């Protein structure tokens, strides 16, 4: 198994940020945990250089990020884009201009840890959006690296780096590329995907889990990342819209521990570093999703905390498909929006319990013994929970991104269904 040298990576990242901020060891507030804000200016999106070799070539020699190749080429190796100082380690040390981020509640992907970075060209900024994904300018690159820990209770330990996915915002829209770590030294393009068999990890309960892992095909990305026009009776021929999923304000509105020791709210850090524009001055007015991960004790959550955590979990894991007509462009919906289950975080449960599956007969699929998507007080007979736990390809949800059940996540949703307000579901015909 591959073992990342995270200590070295952290040092690289620290020196990188200091260089980007125009100094080294000066009075930058880096030792004040949660205190002094980071330096403002163009630090966060400092120019990552321009190719000095053949323009648009994957083999160009660059002084920083190979923007030309990112905007025009499908390169065979991840290192061709020069996104990381140490090309063998995509978990830390981004090339100058790269900013790490994390999400307060994240999409489950077979217990892997995720390492996320955003690169924005010099002089460009990200625009704030209250409900939808932030508005990233053309030229933006989002990287996400998946690594499977030996033990999920010790995510700083040994891990197997599996893949790095790129979302590239080109002039004609977002473009997705998967790279598989075929060796310790580099990741190679996996347009047709990749399947790894017999992987194992130990979860927080000490149970060993064995499963196969699938690196998605490039073509699979649109199945989760697209919203589509509602064509019902309209004759509308508009094209689908490809969007990132995770970097919404509500999931970035939490503290992040930066490599220089600074702990700071991510949105505020981006704003004060002149990377993000339009952020409200009062962060209290910015929607904030709760922190939920495998270490959160579900049984210790209050009723309100449980409801909030469950809505965030369903939103980040399901609502990229199960959504419609709430904050989307007019007449657009997620690919599964027409199923009637619509699980956006900012949808109010009390206004429409049926949108959350309560007493709603399954439209897609269905299985004997599960008459409704959600039966309050009865998680064992709720089709939604069954779909989250089964590995049967006909029923499992999400359809992609998992080949094992998320024990901690399903425990959360089980508890949420169990405490939902009572509702008398009419007997199914």
**pTM for the whole thing?**
0.84
Q: What pLDDT does residue 394 have? A: 85
How confident is the model over 159-165, as a mean pLDDT?
96
User: Is residue 424 domain-resident?
Assistant: no
Q: How far apart are CA 27 and CA 31, in angstroms?
A: 9
Q: Which candidate, 421, 359, 419, 351, places its Cα nearest to that of 384?
A: 359
Tell me: do 218 and 333 sit in the same domain: no
User: Is residue 428 domain-resident?
Assistant: no
User: Is residue 293 domain-resident?
Assistant: no
Residues spanned by the domain of 357: 298-418
User: Is residue 116 domain-resident?
Assistant: yes
**How do residues 364-374 score in pLDDT, each as one tens digit?**
678 888 999 99
Q: How far apart are CA 248 and CA 245, in angstroms?
A: 8
Across 26-30, 161-165, 233-237, least confident range: 26-30
The residue among 315 and 40 whose pLDDT is bigger is 315
Q: How far apart are CA 137 and CA 43, in angstroms?
A: 17
The residue among 424 and 198 whose pLDDT is bigger is 198
Tell me: do 30 and 175 sit in the same domain: yes
Over the range 332-369, which residues count as b (16 or more CB within 10 Å of their CB) and which as e? Answer: bbbbbbbbbbbbbbebeeeeebebbbbbbbbeeeeeee
Q: Is the sign of the CA dihedral 347, 176, 86, 67 positive or negative?
A: negative
Of 231, 257, 285, the position where a domain reaches its end is: 285
Across 228-232, 333-337, 339-343, least confident range: 228-232
Res 36 pLDDT > 90: no
Res 400 pLDDT > 80: no
* Helix (DSSP H) and strand (DSSP E) numbers for the chain: 8, 15
**How do residues 340-352 score in pLDDT, each as one tens digit?**
888 999 999 999 9
Tell me: do 280 and 312 sit in the same domain: no
Tokens of 393: 């390809």
Q: How confident is the model at residue 223 (pLDDT cuts 50, 70, 90)?
A: low
Res 12 pLDDT > 70: no
Q: What pLDDT does residue 317 have? A: 93
User: Is residue 397 domain-resident?
Assistant: yes
Q: Which candidate, 40, 22, 44, 23, places its Cα nearest to that of 119?
A: 44
**Bridge partners of 113?**
147
User: Is residue 426 domain-resident?
Assistant: no
Res 1 pLDDT > 60: no
> Nearest 5°: phi and psi at 11?
-65, -40
**How do residues 185-202 score in pLDDT, each as one tens digit?**
999 999 988 999 999 999
Tell me: do 213 and 358 sit in the same domain: no
Cα separation values, 286 from 130, 173, 244, 252, 263, Å: 7, 27, 20, 10, 19
User: Is residue 292 domain-resident?
Assistant: no
**How do residues 38-73 score in pLDDT, each as one tens digit?**
332 233 444 444 434 344 589 888 889 999 999 999
Tell me: do 394 and 267 sit in the same domain: no
Tell me: do 238 and 348 sit in the same domain: no
Q: What pLDDT does residue 368 have? A: 86
Q: What pLDDT does residue 156 have? A: 86
Tell me: do 273 and 407 sit in the same domain: no
User: Is residue 95 domain-resident?
Assistant: yes
| Residues whose CB falls within 8 Å of the CB of residue 240, separated by 6 or more in sequence, listed in order | 222, 226, 227, 228, 229
Tell me: do 278 and 311 sit in the same domain: no
Query: What average pLDDT is seen over the chain?
Result: 82
**Bridge partners of 257?**
263
Tell me: do 101 and 248 sit in the same domain: yes
Of 255, 285, 315, the position where a domain reaches its end is: 285
* Domains held by the chain: number: 2
Please state whether the peptide bond connecting residue 227 to the residue before it is cis, i.e. omega within 30 degrees of 0: no
335 touches 320 (CB < 8 A): no
Highest mean pLDDT out of 194-208, 215-229, 356-370: 194-208
Tell me: do 371 and 311 sit in the same domain: yes
Torsion of CA 222, 130, 106, 310, to 10 degrees: -110
Q: How far apart are CA 191 and CA 179, in angstroms?
A: 8
Q: Which candidate, 46, 26, 30, places its Cα nearest to that of 38?
A: 30
Tell me: do 277 and 305 sit in the same domain: no
Of 257, 285, 313, the position where a domain reaches its end is: 285
The residue among 32 and 245 whose pLDDT is bigger is 245
Tell me: do 206 and 152 sit in the same domain: yes
Res 19 pLDDT > 60: no
How confident is the model over 215-223, as a mean pLDDT?
73
Neighbour tally for 295: CB within 10 Å: 11
126 touches 277 (CB < 8 A): yes
Q: What pLDDT does residue 115 have? A: 97
The residue among 130 and 27 whose pLDDT is bigger is 130
């Amino acid at each position: 198994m591959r073992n990342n040298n995270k200590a070295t990576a952290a040092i690289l990242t620290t020196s990188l940020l200091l260089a980007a901020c125009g100094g080294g060891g000066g009075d930058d507030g880096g030792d004040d945990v949660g205190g002094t804000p980071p330096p403002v200016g163009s630090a966060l999106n400092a120019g990552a250089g321009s190719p000095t070799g053949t323009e648009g070539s994957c083999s160009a020699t660059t002084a920083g990020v190979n923007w030309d190749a990112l905007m025009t080429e499908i390169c065979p190796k991840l290192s061709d884009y020069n996104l990381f100082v140490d090309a063998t380690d995509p978990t830390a040390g981004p090339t100058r201009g790269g900013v790490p981020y994390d999400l307060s509640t994240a999409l489950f992907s077979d217990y892997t840890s995720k390492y996320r970075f955003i690169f924005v060209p010099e002089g460009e900024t990200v625009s704030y959006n209250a409900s939808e994904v932030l508005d990233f300018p053309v030229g933006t690159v989002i990287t996400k690296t998946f690594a499977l820990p030996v033990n999920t209770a010790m995510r700083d330990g040994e891990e197997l780096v599996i893949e790095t996915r790129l979302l590239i915002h080109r002039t004609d829209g977002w473009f997705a590329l998967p790279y598989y770590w075929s060796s310790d030294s580099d990741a190679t393009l996996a347009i047709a995907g990749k399947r790894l068999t017999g992987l194992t990890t130990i979860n927080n309960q000490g149970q060993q889990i064995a499963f196969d892992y699938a690196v998605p095909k490039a073509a699979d990305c649109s199945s989760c990342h697209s919203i589509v026009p509602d064509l019902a009776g309209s004759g509308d021929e508009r094209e689908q819209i490809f969007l990132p999923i995770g970097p919404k304000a509500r999931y970035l509105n939490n503290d992040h521990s930066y490599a220089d020791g600074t702990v700071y709210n991510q949105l505020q850090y981006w704003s004060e570093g002149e990377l993000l524009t339009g952020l409200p001055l009062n962060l209290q007015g910015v929607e904030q999703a709760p922190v939920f991960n495998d270490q959160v004790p579900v049984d210790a959550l209050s009723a309100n905390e449980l409801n909030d955590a469950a809505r965030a979990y369903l939103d980040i894991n399901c609502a990229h498909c199960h959504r419609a007509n709430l904050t989307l462009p007019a007449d657009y919906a997620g690919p599964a929006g027409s199923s009637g289950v619509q699980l956006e975080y900012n949808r109010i449960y009390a206004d429409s319990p049926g949108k959350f599956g309560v007493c709603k007969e399954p439209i897609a699929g269905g299985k004997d013994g599960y008459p409704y998507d959600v039966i309050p007080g009865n998680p064992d007979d709720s089709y939604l929970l069954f779909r989250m736990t089964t590995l049967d390809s006909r029923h499992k949800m999400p359809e992609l991104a998992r080949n094992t059940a998320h024990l901690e996540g399903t425990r959360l949703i089980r508890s949420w269904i169990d405490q939902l307000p009572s509702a008398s579901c009419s007997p199914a015909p």
